[in-house]
Amino acid sequence: MCPRALSPLTGGPGKLMFDALKNFLTEIGSTGPAPERSFDEADYRLAAAALLIHVANADGHVDDSERGRLQAIVEERFALDPATARRLIAAAEESEREAVDLFHFTATLKRALDESGRRQVIELMWDMAYADGQAHELEENIVWRVAELLGVPARDRMQLKHRAEATGGEVEGVEQGPWSGMRSKA
């Protein structure tokens, strides 16, 4: 047996998949209210929220308008109640603090979302960048890098930027997650 291959009972890469499967089976088999959900590393919502937090932190401070916009985006776009949205934001803040680069987040999003969904992540990032009325050059750079990693064309990225700039960050018409649906794993 390979020393890196750990069983789900002892931890390692298989544990996340095992826990996600166990939670899914518990949810579909229960007849009462849904259990309180945690947000694991494979959850596209955690990855998207972490990227939004990264954009908000880029200019060195997060003001009240950015905090309020982040809360609103997470509630609206992921169809979460305020308490669950706060838990997601807290988990995303921790995940963003521990991250050494953006690739982990973008890889999660590429696996979970189709092209339209990834484009909408960029739209939400522009929304966050303009939450305080203007996009700082570091925020713009982060959105550019994430768009490149997600495979969103430069033309789309710039159209989304101009749209967010014109509306002051209040983008409308973005469907609730998982936006265009989860890509099949076939």
Q: Which token pair is 102?
A: 């953006």
**pLDDT over 60 at 15, yes or no:** no
The 3-state secondary structure of 35-49 reads CCCCCCCCCHHHHHH
Higher pLDDT, 16 or 157: 157
Select from 1.10.3720.10, 1.10.3680.10, 3.30.460.80, 1.10.10.10 the CATH code of 44-167.
1.10.3680.10
Mean pLDDT of the chain: 79
Q: What is the pLDDT of residues 41-68, one digit of tens each?
A: 778 999 999 999 999 999 888 888 889 9
Nearby residues of 58 by Cβ (< 8 Å), 6 or more positions away: 129, 136, 138, 139, 141, 142
pTM for the full predicted model: 0.72
The domains of the chain are located at 44-167
Q: What is the pLDDT of residues 119-168, one digit of tens each?
A: 999 999 999 999 888 899 999 999 999 999 999 999 999 999 999 988 87
**Could you give the CA distance from residue 181 to residue 90 in angstroms, rounded to a whole number?**
25
pLDDT at 128: 94
